[in-house]
Amino acid sequence: MPGIYRRILKWLDERFGAGAVEEFLRHKTVPIHRHSIWYYFGGMTLFLFVVQALTGILLLLYYRPTPNDAFESIQYIVTQVPYGWLIRSVHSWSANLLILTVFIHMFSVYFLKAYRKPRELTWITGMFLLFIMLGFGFSGYLLPWNTLAFFATKVGTEMAATVPLIGPWLLKFLRGGEEVTGATLTRFFGFHVAVLPGLTTLLLAMHLLLVQRLGMSVPPGVERAIEEGRQPARSMPFFPNFLLRDMIGWYAALGVLGALAAIFPWELGTKADAFASAPAGIRPEWYFLFAFQTLKILPAKILFLEGELAGLMGFTLAGIVWVLVPFLDYKAGFGRVTRFFTGLGIFALGYMVVMSALALR
């Protein structure tokens, strides 16, 4: 068998230089130090994204994106189609775990200053991928066309209307009209299965290429320890050593997903009714809770601004600062850790955790 394997490789090598591909893969190494565990979360996110793509394609075989059919088609998937309950629950659970790993990945990169020169673009593509993942979450949430999703979409899109100047246009663009209707469902379906996957593919390719090209970042503290000879510079090849470790994690994740889907099947709720009141205890998915709680406690007017506009402006500003942090914290590029930015990260994480906890009370 190894003979055949070698001959196939040689055949490929003569045609497009498979040796170069192998060389490309072997070029990357993974540093070993006390923070190495955080290197796993990017790969884990990628794995969960692949799970989303595959289960999403399977759901597409039966899902129908119209207000009369959407809810019933998912009912059909989870009650009639063989293993439909499994596919649908895995898609929902994996979506939630994916958002979780995206946030862990982002915050670990932030605190370990992995965004510093020369990895600014890796950080920026990563942040855009994070926004796209939130877009996937928001658009996918509406697709079952249940009551919770209906009101979540009303509120979420109404937020867009508070944007100065283009707000009304943005609202109509998102909703496909003045109200959340079947037109909104069709649009969100299009975003969810065509627009966002396309953008993700492009950004993911850039992100991975940059990671491959620049190698893994070593945190400033570890870097200094190595320079001062307090610690040896150890590393392992990415391919195959680290990848095999990654794969053990992915295998475990599959087990967790299967168990969650089987033990806690994702609920479908009740079908959306445009002429019913919002039910008591309504709230969005956990990763939007901090924004939801902020909206809830903002007063109707802050100085001369409407409360929700002030909130929206606050979050937009925070998002811009976050995306541009490699340039604001340029000193990190020289290996200097600025307390302010570490503090800012702790504040952001703390704010999100505390606000989410308040919303769950």
Closest to another protein by CB, 4 or 280: 280
Total of chain residues touching another protein, rule CB under 8 A: 33
> In the block, which residue shows the tokens 């999403």?
56
Element containing residue 159 per DSSP (H, E)? helix 147-161
Exactly one of 17, 19, 118, 177 binds another protein (CB under 8 A); which one? 177
Exactly one of 14, 22, 179, 267 binds another protein (CB under 8 A); which one? 179
Considering the rule CB under 8 A, would residue 327 count as an interface residue with another protein?
no
Considering the rule CB under 8 A, would residue 282 count as an interface residue with another protein?
yes
Considering the rule CB under 8 A, would residue 183 count as an interface residue with another protein?
yes
- Least distance to another protein, CB of residue 155, Å: 4
> In the block, which residue shows the tokens 């990895």?
119
Considering the rule CB under 8 A, would residue 66 count as an interface residue with another protein?
no
- Least distance to another protein, CB of residue 44, Å: 34
Exactly one of 145, 151, 266, 341 binds another protein (CB under 8 A); which one? 151
Considering the rule CB under 8 A, would residue 142 count as an interface residue with another protein?
no
Exactly one of 24, 83, 131, 173 binds another protein (CB under 8 A); which one? 173
- Least distance to another protein, CB of residue 180, Å: 8
Considering the rule CB under 8 A, would residue 265 count as an interface residue with another protein?
no
HSE-CB at 251 with a 13 A cutoff on CA atoms is: 6
Considering the rule CB under 8 A, would residue 192 count as an interface residue with another protein?
no
Q: Which residues contact 74 (CB under 8 A, 6 or more apart)?
A: 63, 88, 143, 144, 268
Structure tokens at 28: 């990357």
- Long-range CB contact pairs, 146-149, < 8 A, 24+: 146/71, 146/268, 146/269, 146/270, 146/271, 146/272, 147/269, 147/270, 147/271, 147/272, 147/273, 147/276, 147/279, 148/269, 148/279, 148/282, 149/269, 149/272
Please tell me the distance from the alpha carbon of residue 328 to that of residue 116, in angstroms, as a whole number: 10
Residue 91 CB neighbour total at 10 angstroms = 20
- Least distance to another protein, CB of residue 220, Å: 42
Considering the rule CB under 8 A, would residue 307 count as an interface residue with another protein?
yes
Considering the rule CB under 8 A, would residue 154 count as an interface residue with another protein?
yes
Closest to another protein by CB, 178 or 267: 178
Structure tokens at 308: 């929700």
DSSP secondary structure letter of residue 116: S
Please tell me the distance from the alpha carbon of residue 169 to that of residue 302, in angstroms, as a whole number: 25
Exactly one of 58, 149, 159, 310 binds another protein (CB under 8 A); which one? 159
Q: CA-CA distances (angstroms) from residue 97 to 101, 133, 253, 351? A: 6, 11, 9, 21
- Least distance to another protein, CB of residue 299, Å: 7
- Least distance to another protein, CB of residue 146, Å: 15
- Least distance to another protein, CB of residue 301, Å: 7
Residue 340: is it exposed, middle or buried by C-beta count within 10 angstroms (0-12/13-18/19+)? exposed
- Least distance to another protein, CB of residue 316, Å: 17
Q: CA-CA distances (angstroms) from residue 355 to 287, 288, 351? A: 11, 10, 6
Residue 246 CB neighbour total at 10 angstroms = 19
Considering the rule CB under 8 A, would residue 14 count as an interface residue with another protein?
no
Binding segment for another protein (CB under 8 A), chosen from 22-30, 100-108, 205-213, 296-304, is: 296-304
Please tell me the distance from the alpha carbon of residue 97 to that of residue 235, in angstroms, as a whole number: 29
HSE-CB at 147 with a 13 A cutoff on CA atoms is: 14
Exactly one of 2, 3, 164, 281 binds another protein (CB under 8 A); which one? 281
Exactly one of 129, 308, 325, 326 binds another protein (CB under 8 A); which one? 308
- Least distance to another protein, CB of residue 68, Å: 17
Residues near another protein (CB under 8 A) are 151, 154-155, 157-159, 169, 172-173, 176-179, 183, 274-282, 292, 295-296, 298-301, 306-308
